[in-house]
Amino acid sequence: MADYDTIIIGAGNGGLTAAATLAKAGLKVLLLERHNIPGGCATSFCRGRFEFEVALHQLSGMGTEEMPGPLRFCLKDLDVLKKITFVEMEHLYRIVFLDHLDITLTTKRAEIIKELQDRFPSEKKGIAKFFDLVYAFANQLIGIVYMKDPDASKEKYPLYFKYALKSSQEVLDEFFKDPLLKAVIGAYWGYMGLPPSLLSFDNLAILLFAYSEFKPFHIKGGSQALSNALVDTFLENGGDVRFNCGVKEILIKDGKVTGVITEEGDEISTNYIVSNAGLLTTYIELIDGKHVPEAQLKALGGRTIGTSAFTIFTGLDCEPSDVGIKETTNFICSSIDAEKAFSLTKTLDAPQMMLLTCYDVSDPDFSPPGTCQTATVALGYADPWLNIPPSQYADMKYQYAQAMLDLIERIFPGYRDHIEEIEVASPITHLRFLGHPGGAIYGFDQYAKDSRLFTSSESPIKGLFFAGAWVAGGGFQPTLMSGGSAARAVLKEIGNR
Ligand SMILES: Cc1cc2nc3c(=O)[nH]c(=O)nc-3n(C[C@H](O)[C@H](O)[C@H](O)COP(=O)(O)OP(=O)(O)OC[C@H]3O[C@@H](n4cnc5c(N)ncnc54)[C@H](O)[C@@H]3O)c2cc1C
**What is the C-alpha to C-alpha distance for residues 228 and 386, in angstroms, rounded to an integer?**
32
SS3 69: coil
Of 149-163, 175-189, 400-414, the one with minimum mean pLDDT is 149-163
CB hemisphere CA count around 443 (13 angstroms): 30
Ligand 1 atom closest to 41 (CA): 29
Using a 6 Å cutoff on CB, does residue 11 contact ligand 1? yes
**Tens digit of each residue's pLDDT (9 = 90 or more) over 292-306:** 999 999 999 889 999
Rounded to the nearest angstrom, the distance between the alpha carbon of 186 and the centre of ligand 1 is 24
DSSP label at residue 26: T
CB atoms inside a 10 Å sphere around CB 243: 15
Asked whether 338 and 195 are in contact (CB, 8 A), the reply is: yes
Q: Among 362, 441, 481, which residue has the most ligand 1 atoms within 8 Å of its CB, making it the best to mutate?
A: 441
Using a 6 Å cutoff on CB, does residue 31 contact ligand 1? no
Rounded to the nearest angstrom, the distance between the alpha carbon of 175 and the centre of ligand 1 is 35
**What is the C-alpha to C-alpha distance for residues 212 and 119, in angstroms, rounded to an integer?**
19
Q: Which residues contact 132 (CB under 8 A, 6 or more apart)?
A: none
> Where are any strands of DSSP class E within 359-463?
372-380, 419-425
Ligand 1 atom closest to 472 (CA): 26
**Tens digit of each residue's pLDDT (9 = 90 or more) over 137-170:** 999 998 888 788 889 899 999 999 999 889 999 9
CB hemisphere CA count around 286 (13 angstroms): 29
Rounded to the nearest angstrom, the distance between the alpha carbon of 444 and the centre of ligand 1 is 13
Using a 6 Å cutoff on CB, does residue 13 contact ligand 1? yes
Task: Give the burial string for 268-297 (b: 16+ CB within 10 Å, else e).
Answer: bebbbbbbbbbbbbbbeebbeeebbeeebe
Using a 6 Å cutoff on CB, does residue 16 contact ligand 1? no
Q: What is the pLDDT of residue 453?
A: 72
Using a 6 Å cutoff on CB, does residue 33 contact ligand 1? yes
**Tens digit of each residue's pLDDT (9 = 90 or more) over 224-242:** 999 999 999 999 999 999 9
Taking phi over 0 as left and psi of -120 to 50 as alpha, with beta for the rest, 31 belongs to beta
Taking phi over 0 as left and psi of -120 to 50 as alpha, with beta for the rest, 358 belongs to beta
Using a 6 Å cutoff on CB, does residue 483 contact ligand 1? no
**Tens digit of each residue's pLDDT (9 = 90 or more) over 49-85:** 999 999 999 999 999 999 999 999 999 999 999 999 9
Rounded to the nearest angstrom, the distance between the alpha carbon of 40 and the centre of ligand 1 is 4
* 68 residue type, one letter: P
Using a 6 Å cutoff on CB, does residue 247 contact ligand 1? yes
| pLDDT at residue 135 tops 90 | yes
Nearest in space to 257 (alpha carbons), one of 288, 223, 298: 288
* 330 CA to centre of own chain: 17
pLDDT range class, residue 497, cuts 50, 70, 90: low
Residue of minimum CA distance from atom 37 in ligand 1? 277
Which residues are paired to 379 by β-bridges?
309
CB atoms inside a 10 Å sphere around CB 58: 23
Ligand 1 atom closest to 38 (CA): 49
Asked whether 261 and 267 are in contact (CB, 8 A), the reply is: yes
CATH superfamily, with its number, for domain 4-41+70-84+221-303+445-496 = FAD/NAD(P)-binding domain (3.50.50.60)
Ligand 1 atom closest to 311 (CA): 1
Residue of minimum CA distance from atom 12 in ligand 1? 475
CATH of domain 307-434: 3.30.519
Work out the angle at residue 486's Cα, subtended by the Cα atoms of residues 480 and 492, and round it to the nearest 5 degrees.
Answer: 140
Q: What is the pLDDT of residue 205?
A: 96
Using a 6 Å cutoff on CB, does residue 325 contact ligand 1? no
CB atoms inside a 10 Å sphere around CB 132: 12
Asked whether 211 and 58 are in contact (CB, 8 A), the reply is: yes
Q: Which residues contact 493 (CB under 8 A, 6 or more apart)?
A: 272, 463
**What is the C-alpha to C-alpha distance for residues 18 and 15, in angstroms, rounded to an integer?**
5
Burial classification of residue 153, based on how many CB atoms lie within 10 Å of its CB (0-12 exposed, 13-18 middle, 19 or more buried) = exposed
pLDDT range class, residue 97, cuts 50, 70, 90: very high
Of 396-410, 420-434, 437-451, 452-466, the one with minimum mean pLDDT is 452-466
Using a 6 Å cutoff on CB, does residue 55 contact ligand 1? yes
Using a 6 Å cutoff on CB, does residue 52 contact ligand 1? no
Using a 6 Å cutoff on CB, does residue 478 contact ligand 1? no
Using a 6 Å cutoff on CB, does residue 479 contact ligand 1? yes
Which residues are paired to 44 by β-bridges?
53
Using a 6 Å cutoff on CB, does residue 378 contact ligand 1? no
Rounded to the nearest angstrom, the distance between the alpha carbon of 110 and the centre of ligand 1 is 34
Model confidence, pTM? 0.96
**What is the C-alpha to C-alpha distance for residues 82 and 85, in angstroms, rounded to an integer?**
8
Q: What is the pLDDT of residue 74?
A: 96
Phi, psi of 95 (to 5 degrees): -130, 130
Residue of minimum CA distance from atom 16 in ligand 1? 475
**What distance separates the 2 farthest-apart alpha carbons in the chain?**
70
Q: What is the pLDDT of residue 422?
A: 98
Using a 6 Å cutoff on CB, does residue 260 contact ligand 1? no
Phi, psi of 74 (to 5 degrees): -65, -45
Q: What is the pLDDT of residue 405?
A: 98
pLDDT range class, residue 87, cuts 50, 70, 90: very high
* 87 residue type, one letter: V
Mean pLDDT of the chain: 96
Rounded to the nearest angstrom, the distance between the alpha carbon of 54 and the centre of ligand 1 is 10
Q: Among 276, 307, 424, which residue has the most ligand 1 atoms within 8 Å of its CB, making it the best to mutate?
A: 276
Phi, psi of 386 (to 5 degrees): -70, -20
SS3 211: helix
Q: Among 31, 41, 307, 373, which residue has the most ligand 1 atoms within 8 Å of its CB, making it the best to mutate?
A: 41
Residue of minimum CA distance from atom 53 in ligand 1? 55
Q: Residue ranges of the domains in the chain? A: 4-41+70-84+221-303+445-496, 108-213, 307-434
Q: What is the pLDDT of residue 324?
A: 98
Asked whether 474 and 442 are in contact (CB, 8 A), the reply is: yes
